[in-house]
Every structure is written in C-alpha cells, then in structure tokens.
Amino acid sequence: MITVHHLRVGRPLFTLWLIEELGLDYNPKIYERNDMGRAPPELKTVHPLGKSPVIEDDKHVIAESGAIALHLIENYDANGCFAPLTEKFARASWYQWFHYTGASAFAPLLITLLLSREQEPKPQLLSMFAHSEVTLQLDYIAQGNRKRGQNKKQFCILI
C-alpha cells in the first residue's frame, strides 16, 4: 500500500487526486502547516527536505510531485488514461504541459499567493508583474484546455 505524506494546502492535493483517479489504496499521513505556512519538522524524518508531497511505495521514498506523478502513471495506470501519447509531437505536448506548472506558471502564482499575505501597501512592481503574468498563464491554460476536447481528464493531470 502506498503511504502519502500530505501537507495541507498545496501540491500534495494533486498527488491525492491522481491516486484516487487511479483507484489505488493508500494510507494518508496528514501534516499541518505552522504559523509561517511551513511544514512541521516531522516531515524531515520522511525526506531530508521536509517537504510534501512524498510517497512511500514498497519501502521506496519518492519526493517531488512530478516524479511521484510519473511513477504512479508508469506503474499503476493500467488503462493508459493519463499516460503520454506515443505520437512524437503529441508526446512532446504532453511533456510540455506536464512540466509547465513547475516552470512558467509557478513563479507568478507563488508571488500572488505571498502577496495575498502582505498588508497594504503591497510592493507595486511585484504586484504588477504577478497580476499580468497570472492573467497570461490562466489564459494559456484555458486555451490548452479548449484544445484538449474530449481528453479533459488527462489535461487536468498535466496542469
């Protein structure tokens, strides 16, 4: 059985969603964030970075949401619902979307989250950058979603 070390609020939800979609049995270990929004020190007993998500599968510890997702898809997606397509450019598109959230989309969304915790006045340059970038990224996601047509479930796993 897979153990999921789940830190409330954040990317671990993605891991739980994928495990549920794959119909896997799992044991969730839930951790609460501290007042600074950080993981508790207990997570460092699971993985040296003390971050989440982390899974344990057959006594192997796997960290990083992308690595976890690829592991789960490659080993437990018997129907191929989430696997990349085999055609060269469709596969490249799958990988592009898979890595998109940890690359282009991440910084503006994180900045927006952090700014939401700041009191007024917020740093103007960061606020302007984050607002325009978040709009750009959300528009890009919406376009990609429309292009996916019937395969919305696979698109959700990618972003």
3-class secondary-structure state, position 114? helix
Per-residue pLDDT, 103: 84
Give the span between the Cα atoms of 11 and 66, in whole angstroms.
10
Per the CB < 8 A criterion, the answer to whether 82 and 14 are in contact is no
Looking at domain 2-76, which CATH architecture does it have?
3-Layer(aba) Sandwich (3.40)
The model's pTM = 0.79
Token pair listed for 130 = 């984050």
Per-position pLDDT tens, the chain of length 159: 999 999 887 777 889 999 999 999 999 999 988 888 888 889 999 999 988 899 999 999 999 989 999 999 999 999 888 888 888 988 888 888 888 888 888 888 888 888 888 888 888 888 888 888 889 988 888 888 777 655 555 556 555
Rounded Cα gap, residues 123 and 118, in angstroms: 9
DSSP secondary structure letters along 89-112? HHHHHHHHHHHHTTTTTHHHHHHH
Encoded tokens for 83: 């696997």
Q: Where are the domains of the chain?
A: 2-76, 88-158
Q: What phi and psi, each to the nearest 5 degrees, are found at residue 148?
A: -75, -20
Q: Which two tokens stand for residue 143?
A: 């376009």
The tokens for 14 are 């993605």
pLDDT of 148: 64
In the chain, the amino acid numbered 114 is L
Query: How far is residue 73's CA from residue 122's CA, in Å, rounded to a whole number?
Result: 41
pLDDT at residue 154, as a whole number: 59
